[in-house]
């Protein structure tokens, strides 16, 4: 992108975050790595590392990698949930996984032909995830690195607002209802991401259209960023019309060379239509939108649904065996309904540029041609 061909499309969010375009990379655990976050920041948006399953040392390494790739602002996203099974480490959490769940995981693996070595106790070994004790340690790393923006979902980052502000950082809270948004705004969170039901990953019940429209009004003047179902300039323009100051996009960036998911998963997303996702508790214990699979349907019908975050350990363990066997059809692939509009691989820089170019074209040319105004 030459300087001259760069379009201007700014909102107050750009000034607040010191970025060129109001486009934020969703902090997707596993997918939003240093390469992807750096590419989005370099393209003029805000890249956000998804840190949920990173140990403090891994997060430290990821931030160092990003800083070698860009000197532009960036962020880190993790989760801060309440109402969960508490534990400091993943190994501590394994104690809460009941034997029936371990037995069911073996049974389902056998029935679907997933090659798990005999005697493996899925959940009691293997897999990865997040434990409540991880978030404070991740935040320490974020402070040490003077990360400009911190985002948290599945719980409020309000507890860290005073300290983050004292350090000159901005704090983003992800919400799925108007009430949650009001609480975040009252606690002084700088930016609210309103994520609609159609979005990939953990998701609530309210669709993006009503949520963004209602939250933007409810928390003004706190800036609201729209999430869920936005992959292009058309979605960006719609979000701005609903009152948002920018967009937070996950699925849009999954089919980029930089994204940290497997190539076969990217191909599955490209091939998927808007009807191919499902909201389920099987993957993490909380409602999460993924590409639908036989494994998910089967587990939902007959398997135990454990409380968050225990299922993550079991599903990521199964995912490892699925991966080794290249059994793509049963992969756990979080993804939004708008995957129907993701039809090709593109570098992240191109995703940002296309989004901006299309939004500007719609506002400058298409609307005046299609919409007649006047008296």
Ligand X SMILES: Cc1cc2nc3c(=O)[nH]c(=O)nc-3n(C[C@H](O)[C@H](O)[C@H](O)COP(=O)(O)O)c2cc1C
Nearest to 196 by CA among 205, 186, 185, 187: 205
The answer to the question of residue 303 lying near ligand X (CB under 6 A) is no
- Report phi then psi at 327, rounded to 5: -90, 70
The answer to the question of residue 335 lying near ligand X (CB under 6 A) is yes
Which residue stretch of 98-106, 134-142, 227-235, 300-308 sits at the interface with ligand X (rule: CB under 6 A)?
A: 227-235
| Shorter beta-carbon distance to ligand X: residue 33 or 317 | 33
| Shorter beta-carbon distance to ligand X: residue 102 or 160 | 160
Residue of the chain from 129, 173, 228, 311 that contacts ligand X (CB under 6 A): 228
b/e sequence 1-20, b meaning 16+ C-beta within 10 Å: eeeeeebebeeebbebbebb
Binders of ligand X among residues 143 to 182 (CB under 6 A) are: 153, 174
Which residue stretch of 21-29, 212-220, 295-303, 364-372 sits at the interface with ligand X (rule: CB under 6 A)?
A: 21-29
The answer to the question of residue 31 lying near ligand X (CB under 6 A) is yes
The answer to the question of residue 316 lying near ligand X (CB under 6 A) is no
Binders of ligand X among residues 255 to 274 (CB under 6 A) are: none
| Shorter beta-carbon distance to ligand X: residue 314 or 355 | 355
The answer to the question of residue 200 lying near ligand X (CB under 6 A) is yes
Phi-psi label, residue 250: left if phi above 0, alpha if psi -120 to 50, beta otherwise: alpha
Q: In what order do the strands lie in the sheet with 47-50?
A: 23-25, 246-249, 224-227, 191-195, 170-175, 149-153, 74-79, 47-50
Q: How far is the CB of 259 from ligand X (least distance, A)?
A: 8
Q: How far is the CB of 308 from ligand X (least distance, A)?
A: 13
Handedness of CA 9, 15, 19, 24 (dihedral sign): negative
The residue count for binding ligand X (CB under 6 A) is: 27
Q: How far is the CB of 250 from ligand X (least distance, A)?
A: 2
The answer to the question of residue 27 lying near ligand X (CB under 6 A) is yes
Task: Report the C-alpha gap between 348 and 193 in whole angstroms.
Answer: 21
In contact, 224 and 243? CB cutoff 8 Å:
yes
Q: Provide Rg for the chain, Cα atoms.
A: 20
Residue of the chain from 20, 62, 77, 258 that contacts ligand X (CB under 6 A): 77
Q: What is 129-170 written as a DSSP string? A: ---TTHHHHHHHHHHHTT-SEEEEESS--GGGHHHHHHTT-E
Residue of the chain from 29, 44, 127, 204 that contacts ligand X (CB under 6 A): 29
The answer to the question of residue 243 lying near ligand X (CB under 6 A) is no
């Amino acid at each position: 992108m030459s300087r001259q061909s760069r379009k201007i499309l700014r909102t107050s969010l750009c000034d607040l975050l010191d970025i060129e375009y109001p486009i934020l990379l969703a902090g997707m655990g596993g997918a939003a790595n240093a390469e992807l976050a750096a590419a989005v920041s370099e393209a003029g948006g805000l890249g956000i590392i998804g840190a949920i399953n990173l140990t403090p040392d891994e997060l430290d390494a990821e931030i160092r990698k990003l800083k070698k790739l860009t000197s532009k602002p960036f962020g880190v996203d993790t989760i801060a949930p309440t109402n969960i099974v508490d534990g400091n480490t993943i190994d501590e959490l394994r104690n809460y996984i009941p034997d029936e769940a371990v037995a069911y995981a073996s049974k389902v693996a056998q029935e679907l032909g997933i090659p798990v070595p005999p005697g493996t106790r899925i959940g009691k070994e293997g897999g990865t995830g997040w434990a409540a004790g991880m978030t404070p340690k991740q935040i320490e790393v974020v402070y040490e690195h003077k990360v400009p923006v911190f985002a948290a979902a599945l719980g409020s980052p309000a507890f860290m607002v005073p300290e983050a502000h004292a350090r000159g950082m901005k704090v983003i809270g992800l919400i799925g209802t108007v009430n949650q948004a009001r609480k975040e705004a009252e606690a002084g969170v700088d930016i609210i991401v309103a994520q609609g039901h159609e979005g990939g990953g953990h998701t609530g019940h309210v669709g993006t259209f009503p949520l963004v429209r209602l939250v933007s009004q409810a928390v003004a003047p706190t800036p609201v960023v729209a999430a869920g179902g936005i992959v292009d300039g058309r979605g960006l323009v719609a979000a701005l019309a609903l009152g948002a100051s920018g967009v937070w996009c996950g699925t849009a960036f999954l089919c980029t060379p930089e994204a940290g998911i497997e190539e076969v998963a990217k191909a599955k997303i490209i091939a998927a239509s808007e009807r191919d996702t499902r909201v389920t508790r099987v993957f993490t214990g909380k409602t999460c939108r993924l590409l639908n699979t036989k494994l998910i349907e089967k587990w939902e019908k007959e398997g135990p649904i454990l409380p968050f975050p225990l299922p993550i350990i079991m599903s990521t363990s199964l995912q490892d065996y699925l991966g080794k066997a290249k059994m793509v059809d049963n992969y756990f692939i979080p993804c939004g309904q708008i995957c129907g509009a993701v039809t090709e691989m593109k570098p992240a820089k191109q995703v940002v540029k296309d989004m901006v170019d299309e939004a500007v074209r719609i506002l400058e040319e298409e609307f005046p041609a299609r919409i007649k105004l006047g008296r």
